[in-house]
Structure 1
Amino acid sequence: MNGIQLHKHDLQAGLDLGPIVAIDTETMGLDPRRDRLCLVQLSSGDGTAHLVQIIPPSLGGRGADCPNLRALLTNPNVTKLFHFARFDIAALENGLGVVTAPVICTKIASKLVRTYTDRHGLKELCRDLAGVDISKQQQSSDWGAADLTPEQLAYAASDVLYLHAIWARLKALLIRENRLAIAQAAYDFLPTRAKLDLLGYQDPDLFAH
C-alpha cells in the first residue's frame, strides 16, 4: 500500500525528497491566472506521496507562507519532475510567487519520442510505461474544500507516485532516438512559457503565425 502524508500549509522542515522530486498540483480550475492553488503533491519515487494543502488566510490558513515548499521548488540542485509542467509551473508561480526550476516534463518527453500515438495523458503513460491503471474520477472534484476526502487524497497521490518510473522509460527512449538534448532545451524554456501564460499570451499563442 502506497503511503500518503498530508501536510497542512507547508512541508515539514528537514524533509529530504532526493535529487529528483515528482510534483503535481490541484487547483480550483484550469486557468492558473484565476483559479486558486489548493494542493501540491510531491514524491521522491519511494512509494510515498506528500500532499501539501495550501489554505488561504481568508479561510484560516497561511496561503503562500510555506517556506520549506518554496525552498524546494526553487532549489537549483533539485530537479522537479512534472507531467504537463507548463500548467503546474504557472499555478505555482501564481499561487506561491516562485519560479519552479529546473524541471522535467513527461508529457513533452512522450510527445517527442512516442510519435506512434496521440495518447500522452498521465493515465496512458502509467498504463503503457509503468503497468499501472490509475483512476481520474476525482479530477473534477472540489479541491478547495477544507477537508479533502480519502478518495481525493488517493487520486492526488497517484499523480506523482509513478512519475519516476515513467521518466526512466522516457529518458531511455529520448537517448535511443537522440532527442534528449532537444527535450532538455524545451524543459529549460518551460518557466518562461508558464510566465507568458500568466501574462495572457496563452490565446492567441505568442508563437502562432
Structure 2
Amino acid sequence: MIITLFGCKENTKKNITTKDSTILNRSDVDSTELTNLIRNVYNWHENNELEDFPYEYQEGQDSIFIGIDWDKYRNNIEIFEKTNFFSVEFLNKHNQIAKSIDSSIRKADLKWRNRNDGISLWETGANDWCGCQDYPDNYWKTLTIDSLILNKHIADFVWTWDKQMSHTYRVKAKKENGKWKINSLNGFKYFYTTQEYDKMMKDEN
C-alpha cells in the first residue's frame, strides 16, 4: 500500500471511513516523526565537524593524499551509529562510497592528489548531505517536509527551508525496529564508482 501526502496540511476529504481515518492518523504521526528526524539530523550535522571521507596523507606531507584514512573513517562511523539516525543500509552505502574513493585515489597519478590544487576529483564542492552550497543560518530549526510518499517501511520526501520551496532536497527514510532512520541523502548521489572516476581522469588526460 502506498500513501502519498503533499506537505503536512490537514486532509479535507469528506466521508472518510474508519480504516481511512486510521491510515491518515498514522500518516500524520509519520510526517511528524520524519520532520523531527530530519531536523535533528541536520542540526547534528552542522554542529559536528566530521569528515565523511577523510584523507590519509603521504608520510612527511600535509598536502599529498594517498587514500582514505580508515582509522578516522571508522571512528567517525562509530559516532554516526551512536546517533541512531541512520539505517544499516545508509551506513553500508556510505562505506561503499569510501571504498570506491580509496581505490580510485590509490591508483591515481600525483597530479590528482595534491590538496593545494583546490577541490579534488573525489569531492563534490558542496554540502554532501544535501548537495547544496548556500543555506540560511540555523535552517534546520524551521525546515519542513513535503511530497511525502509512504510505502510500508519506506518514506520518500523532500525538505525545504522556505514556504516558496525555492530549494528542495530529497531524502529517503527507512523504519528499523519501529523507528524512522535516514536511508539516503540527496548529496551522496554525486559520488561515483571507481570505474567512473577512472573514466573522468582518462577523459581529462
Q: TM-score, normalised by structure 2?
A: 0.28
What is the TM-score with the length of structure 1 in the denominator?
0.28
